[in-house]
Amino acid sequence: MNQYRTFFTSLMTGLKGILTTKGDLLTFDTKEVRLAVGQNNEFLSAASAFAKGLDWKKIPIVGMANGTDGELITWDSDGVSTTVSVGLDGQVLESNGVGTEPTFQTPLLKFIVMKTTTETINNDSTLSDDSELTAPLLASKRYFVVCFLLHQTDTVPDFKYAFTLPTDATNRSGNGNWNSGVGESGTRDIESVVTTVSANTNQSGLVIYAWVKTDTTAGNITLQWAQGTSDAANTSVMEGATLMVYEVR
């Protein structure tokens, strides 16, 4: 028993001369040698090119193998590393709050189009599509729609408008008139024709708001407009008129 005690005492005494710093490791070259402690966040790696056979390294990107193209690394609520599954083309990464891994989601549609040129008609009471104010609607979605309809007309022709929607879409709408300070009482179908009266030739701003729910058919929401009564006086939808469409969940 004493001989074993003597052996281990001699061994430990020898190691004290080799290992000098907290975190040092004992390895072997042609004899027992010290591997100095590495830096924070380094890991120990086999390194046959080094005499000691080991080396401290930072985690290289090439060392993070066996993943799937497009996956992301994250941590779950227990602090365990995991992956975020690959998203589909066009999806964006969304946070799901603290303690829950993020996920790829199809972004909510937000479409804003502003009229860049004034469009003018006369002697025309037939509704036609506006040249710019149109926006796409996906199937089986809900939308909040706002249209700032900046227009100019006269008391004779007046001004009328409606919107076209995808097949079988349902909706309700209302409006407020910037020029007169009044709007509709109650709500109506946004596809119904509405006639407004301008008391003078000044520009008027009509704010139209609606909710729209599409069925299984996608399509566009498009502003249509015309004179209420065909007349030689000009009727215009002005530069700056804007259509805003927001998908909601």
Question: Domains of the chain: which residue ranges?
Answer: 2-61, 67-105, 110-248
pLDDT at 200 > cutoff 80? no
pLDDT of residue 61: 58
Distance, CA of 148 to CA of 150 (rounded, Å): 6
Fold of 110-248: Jelly Rolls (2.60.120)
Confidence of residue 248 (pLDDT cuts 50, 70, 90): very high
| 117 vs 83, higher pLDDT | 117
Average the pLDDT over 183-210 and give the result.
72
pLDDT of residue 182: 42
Confidence of residue 220 (pLDDT cuts 50, 70, 90): very high
pLDDT of residue 8: 57
Q: Which tokens hold the place of 173?
A: 């709408």
Mean pLDDT taken over the chain: 82
pLDDT of residue 181: 43
Q: What are phi and psi of 210, to 5 degrees?
A: -155, 155
pLDDT of residue 180: 47
pLDDT at 57 > cutoff 80? no
pLDDT of residue 197: 63
pLDDT at 121 > cutoff 90? yes
pLDDT at 4 > cutoff 70? no
Write out pLDDT tens, residues 141-174. 999 999 999 999 888 898 899 999 999 999 988 8
pLDDT of residue 194: 82
Note whether 221 and 212 are within 8 A (CB). yes
Note whether 223 and 173 are within 8 A (CB). no
pLDDT of residue 229: 92
pLDDT of residue 222: 97
Using CA atoms, how far residue 26 sits from 19, 21, 41, 210, in Å, is 7, 11, 20, 75
pLDDT of residue 216: 95
Q: Dihedral of CA 127/133/139/141: which sign? A: negative
